[in-house]
């Protein structure tokens, strides 16, 4: 009859109350106000596309897929999440009693000199099924620790999603920068060739007496300056390739034919969305901050429960016999029931200090959550502003480039006819190079701001969940297969 009380005690323990405060999501109204508005914010909200639909360039898609499979930092992040998931499972298992089965056989010989009655042999066979050191969670301490471990795992999983989105954005930005640097290098090399041709013309005119030494010196100076600029862009291209190689985590096949598109939307699709709280609050970093807040809220429950008694239970039931043949007979059964209780009486304020730490940590996480929301609105607002004003700048720079092309063609024609000096031609060449450089820079800024907007809005939210290479379960399976 006493054995039947065991399930009742276990049921009572599992229904222990939680001493954690009720969770209330902090208000974020103030964080949504006061950010700069643009015309893009007034458009109707649309769902964010998946990165494969957003990144229209095929070569870029291949680079991103390779990075998601091979990037070392991302692999470390996924494994860290897998570790926290396993730790949660360990902590959650403590909420339930564990059953242990044991069997033993003992054969003993007692010394004749000790007993004085000749050699004495004894045999003991034993089989036991029992519970070892199970804490009755009457005050919710174990449940609070389990909740804390769960929220910590969920927070890290949101950080994994954020890492995936960040990597996608970093690879895209690095790729755009590399293309721009390659175009600038090609532009500079073309400029060097143009200056070489001009120098040959000036030297011919100088030898014929139609040009002076000053013009010849200016032509040489322009050529050497262009060569120095070309060397700078060669370095920039090489270093950018190294950056992209590190992000991808594997050898990269370079496509020197890649160019920035002449028209908007060919490389990156346009994002038409407004800044709404529902959109921002689904960012992985904000969700991670909220899970951290919930974890610290659960910690308060564990710290409060530490003030109350801790009741542990050790129990077992089985059979014991001096011979194997009688091990499972009706009179060989036995049981043990050994509860224990620990009550904190005087701890020099340790439990009180632990509770203070838990409360402070929660308040700090509230501030961190609100700050994450503010950061989200700022990043989205900045990206939307960039979309609007970088587009204006790019259009203006394209118009300026067209005007400089006409200026250069006219200056070259007039110089060849002897109507203008070499200074006028040199000024037109430099102006054309600067205009093309500015146009490429403005276009790059527009594309990177669009990538920033995609990232700031959460990158499609569930992009990380659709990638097999970034799955926590797949990472765990791979580790198990290796060992």
User: For the domain bounded by 5-95+139-308+350-475, which CATH number is listed?
Assistant: 1.20.1600.10
Q: Give yes or no for a contact between 219 and 427, defined as CB atoms under 8 angstroms apart.
A: no
Structure tokens of 356? Answer: 């203070």
Q: What is the pLDDT of residues 188-203, one digit of tens each?
A: 998 898 888 888 888 8
Q: What is the DSSP letter of 56?
A: -
Buried b (16+ CB within 10 A) or exposed e, 333-364: eeeebeeeeeeeeeeeeebeebbeebbebbee
pLDDT at 42 over 50: no
Cα atoms in the Cβ-side hemisphere of radius 13 Å centred on 285: 21
Q: What is the mean pLDDT of residues 289-312?
A: 85
Closest CA to 405 of 126, 194, 150: 194
Helix (H, G, I), strand (E, B) or coil at 400: helix
Q: What is the DSSP code string of 254-265? A: --TT----SSTT
Topology at the third CATH level for domain 99-109+120-136+310-343: Outer membrane efflux proteins (OEP) (2.20.200)
pLDDT at 1 over 60: no
- Considering only 5-19, 327-341, 369-383, which range has the smallest mean pLDDT? 5-19
Q: What is the mean pLDDT of residues 468-480?
A: 80
Q: What is the mean pLDDT of residues 78-98?
A: 86
Q: What is the DSSP code string of 101-166? A: EEEEEEEEEE-HHHHSSS-EEEEEEEEEEEEEEEEE-TTSHHHHHHHHHHHHHHHHHHHHHHHHHH
What are the residue boundaries of the structural domains of the chain, listed by start? 5-95+139-308+350-475, 99-109+120-136+310-343
Q: What is the DSSP code string of 262-316? A: SSTTSSBPPP-----HHHHTTSHHHHHHHHHHHHHHHHHHHHHHTTS-EEEEEEE
Q: Give yes or no for a contact between 394 and 449, defined as CB atoms under 8 angstroms apart.
A: no
169 confidence band (pLDDT: 50, 70, 90): very high
Closest CA to 168 of 81, 250, 74: 74
- Considering only 168-182, 228-242, 297-311, 349-363, which range has the smallest mean pLDDT? 297-311
Task: Give the residue, 260 or 323, on which the prediction is more confident.
Answer: 260
Structure tokens of 66? Answer: 């390779």
Q: What is the mean pLDDT of residues 303-311?
A: 80
* CA 47/CA 53 separation, integer angstroms: 12
pLDDT at 285 over 70: yes
Report the mean per-residue pLDDT for the chain: 80
pLDDT at 131 over 90: no
Q: What is the pTM of this model?
A: 0.81
208 confidence band (pLDDT: 50, 70, 90): confident
Structure tokens of 431? Answer: 């102006």
340 confidence band (pLDDT: 50, 70, 90): confident
Q: Give yes or no for a contact between 227 and 234, defined as CB atoms under 8 angstroms apart.
A: no
pLDDT at 365 over 50: yes
CA distances 65 to 135, 331, 470, Å, are 48, 68, 11
Q: What is the pLDDT of residue 213?
A: 86
Q: Which residues contact 138 (CB under 8 A, 6 or more apart)?
A: 12, 13, 16, 17, 308, 311
The whole-angstrom distance between residue 466's C-alpha and the CA centroid of its chain comes to 15
């Amino acid at each position: 009859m006493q054995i039947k009380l065991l399930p009742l005690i276990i049921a009572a323990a599992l229904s222990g109350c939680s001493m954690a405060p009720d969770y209330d999501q902090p208000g974020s109204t103030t964080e949504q106000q006061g950010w700069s508005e643009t015309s893009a914010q007034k458009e109707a909200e649309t769902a964010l596309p998946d990165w494969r639909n957003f990144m229209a360039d095929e070569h870029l898609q291949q680079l991103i897929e390779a990075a998601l499979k091979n990037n070392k930092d991302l692999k470390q992040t996924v494994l860290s999440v897998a570790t926290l998931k396993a730790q949660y499972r360990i902590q959650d298992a403590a909420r339930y009693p564990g059953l242990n089965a044991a069997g033993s056989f003992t054969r003993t010989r007692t010394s004749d000199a000790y007993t004085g009655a000749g050699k004495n042999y004894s045999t003991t066979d034993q089989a036991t099924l029992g519970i070892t050191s199970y804490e009755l969670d009457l005050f919710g301490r174990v449940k609070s620790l389990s909740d804390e471990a769960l929220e910590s795992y969920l927070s890290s999983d949101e950080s994994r999603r954020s890492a995936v989105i960040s990597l996608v954005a970093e690879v895209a930005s690095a790729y755009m920068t590399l293309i721009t640097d390659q175009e600038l290098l090609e532009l500079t090399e073309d400029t060097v060739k143009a200056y070489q041709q001009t120098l040959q013309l000036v030297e011919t005119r100088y030898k014929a007496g139609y040009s002076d030494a000053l013009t010849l010196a200016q032509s040489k100076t322009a050529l050497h300056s262009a060569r120095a600029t070309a060397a700078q862009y060669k370095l920039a291209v090489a270093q950018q390739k190294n950056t992209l190689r590190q992000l991808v985590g594997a050898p990269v096949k370079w496509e020197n034919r890649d160019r920035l598109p002449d028209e908007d939307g060919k490389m990156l699709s346009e994002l038409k969305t407004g800044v709404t709280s529902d959109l921002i609050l689904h960012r992985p970093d904000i969700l991670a901050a909220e899970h951290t807040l919930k974890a610290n809220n659960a910690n308060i429950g564990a710290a409060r429960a530490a003030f109350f008694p801790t009741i542990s239970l050790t129990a077992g039931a089985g059979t014991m016999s001096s011979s194997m043949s009688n091990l499972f007979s009706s009179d060989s059964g036995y049981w043990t029931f050994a509860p224990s209780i620990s009550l904190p009486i005087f701890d020099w304020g340790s439990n009180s200090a632990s509770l203070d730490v838990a409360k402070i940590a929660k308040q700090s996480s509230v501030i961190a959550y609100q700050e994450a929301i503010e950061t989200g609105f700022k990043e989205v607002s900045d990206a939307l502003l960039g979309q609007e004003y970088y587009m204006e700048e790019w259009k203006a720079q394209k118009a300026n480039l067209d005007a400089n092309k006409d200026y250069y063609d006219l200056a070259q024609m007039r110089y060849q006819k002897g109507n203008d000096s070499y200074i006028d031609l040199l000024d037109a060449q430099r102006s054309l190079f600067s205009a093309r450089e500015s146009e490429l820079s403005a276009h790059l800024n527009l594309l990177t701001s669009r990538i920033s907007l995609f990232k700031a809005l959460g990158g499609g939210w569930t992009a990380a969940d659709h990638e097999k290479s970034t799955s926590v379960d797949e990472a765990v399976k791979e580790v198990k297969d290796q060992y």
